[in-house]
Amino acid sequence: MEGDVPKGILKTQEKIGLINLDYELLYIEKYISKVSRASGKELRQLPVMTSRNCPHNCVFCYVQDRTYRFQDPKESIEELKRLKRRYGIKSIKFAEDNFFVNKNRVEELCKMMIKENLNFEWATECRADYFDRYDDEFLKLITKAGCKRLGIGVEFGSQRMLDFVKKDITIKQILNSAKLCNEYKIYPHYSFIMGMPEEEKEDMMMTVKLIEEIYKICPIAIGGINLFRPYPPQFKKAFEAANLKEPESLEEWTNPEYINIMTTENPLLWSKHNTLAKNIAFYSQFYFFNWDRFMIYYRKSKVMALCLSLMIIATRIRWKLRFFGLPIEKYISKYVSKVMKG
C-alpha cells in the first residue's frame, strides 16, 4: 500500500481539473431528483462527478480507460457549496466509476464537507475489497460527512467466476463489507451479474447462497441481479456462444435483432441456463427488501404494499427451497403492471 492507494494502481493516478458544468446553461430542475438515492427521503438531489474511470481490470466493464483521474478536493468543495447555495441541493450522488480509489483524497474531501457544514447526505460506489483497509476512524469520518449508501459490485457468489472476470475480490471480503456496513449503518446496494456464457448452474446457486448470507449479516442491505449484457470485448465471446453474427458496421448494430438482445427483455441467448438466470434475477429484487423500503410503498398504497408482501413471502420460500421454476408470480406481476399502465 502506497499513500493509502491499492498496490499496482498508483501509477495510473492523475490529478486534473475536471470540467465543472455551467449549470446556468441548463434547465437544472430537469436534472434534480426530488428523492434522495442515499436515503429515500424527499430531498433535492443532483449527481456530481469528482473523479473519472477505474484502475481495476474487470473484463465485463464498459470502462476501457484505466487511468484514474480526480479533481482537487478544494475544487470539489467549491462546486458543492455552489450547488447548495444556488439550487438548494441537500443530497448528492457521486456518480463515479470508483469514488474510493484514493483514500487520502476521500478523507480530505470528507473533512472539508464537515468543516464547511454542508450537511449533505450522499451515495456513491465502492469495491468490497477496499473495506479491508478501512478502520474505525475512516468509517466514522465518511458517515459523519453524510455517507448513507454505497453501491458495491459483487457480481458473483462463485469464486471461480470472480476470478474469471478478474474482479480481484474474495467471498470473505464481500461478507466483511456487509458486516461493516451493518455496523456503521451504511446502506449497501449489492449488484450481481447472471447469464455469462461461462457461468454454470452451480455458479448461479452459489450467488443465491451468497445473497442469503449477505442479508443475514446485513438486514439493511438492498440489491439485485442484473442480466449480463456484453460490452466490447465480451460481446464477441457472447455472440459466438449464441451463434450470432457479429455486426460489421454501425448500421448493422441498429438492426432490431441486436437492439432487442441488449434491452431489458434480454433473451440471454449466450447463456446455457438463460431461463434459470432470468427467473433468479426476477425474484432477487424482492429478496432484498428491508422494512424501510417496504414502508415507502405502504405510504403510497396499502394495496400495493399487500401485493408486495405476497411477492416477498413467495420469494423467501423459493430462496429457501432453491426452486425458481414455474415462475407464476412473474407472469402475474407482468399482467398487473400491464393493467395498471392501461
How much is the pLDDT for 2?
42
Please say whether the beta carbons of 211 and 188 come within 8 A.
no
How do residues 228-265 score in pLDDT, each as one tens digit?
988 776 788 888 888 888 888 888 888 887 888 777 67
Give dist(CA 339, CA 342) in Å, integer: 5
Which amino acid does the sequence have at 113? Answer: M
How much is the pLDDT for 16?
57
Mean pLDDT of the chain: 89
> Which percentage of the chain shows pLDDT scores above 70?
92
- Buried b vs exposed e over 206-218: b needs ≥16 C-beta within 10 Å? bbbebbeebbebb
> Which percentage of the chain shows pLDDT scores above 90?
64
How much is the pLDDT for 319?
97
Please say whether the beta carbons of 116 and 165 come within 8 A.
no
How do residues 298-341 score in pLDDT, each as one tens digit?
888 888 888 889 999 999 999 999 999 999 999 888 887 777 67
**Would you say the pTM of this structure is higher than 0.95?**
no
In terms of phi and psi (left: phi > 0; alpha: psi -120 to 50; beta: otherwise), the region of 40 is left
Extended strands (E) in the chain? 13-15, 45-48, 51-52, 68-70, 91-94, 121-126, 147-155, 187-194, 222-227
pLDDT of 9 > 50? The answer is no
pLDDT of 213 > 70? The answer is yes
User: In the numeric block, which cell numbers belong to residue 260?
Assistant: 432487442
What is each CA distance from 200 to 51, 52, 168, in whole angstroms? 36, 34, 20
How much is the pLDDT for 291?
75
Domain chopping of the chain, boundaries: 1-126
Using DSSP bridges, classify how beta strands 121-126 and 147-155 pair: parallel, antiparallel or unpaired.
parallel
Give dist(CA 43, CA 296) in Å, integer: 14
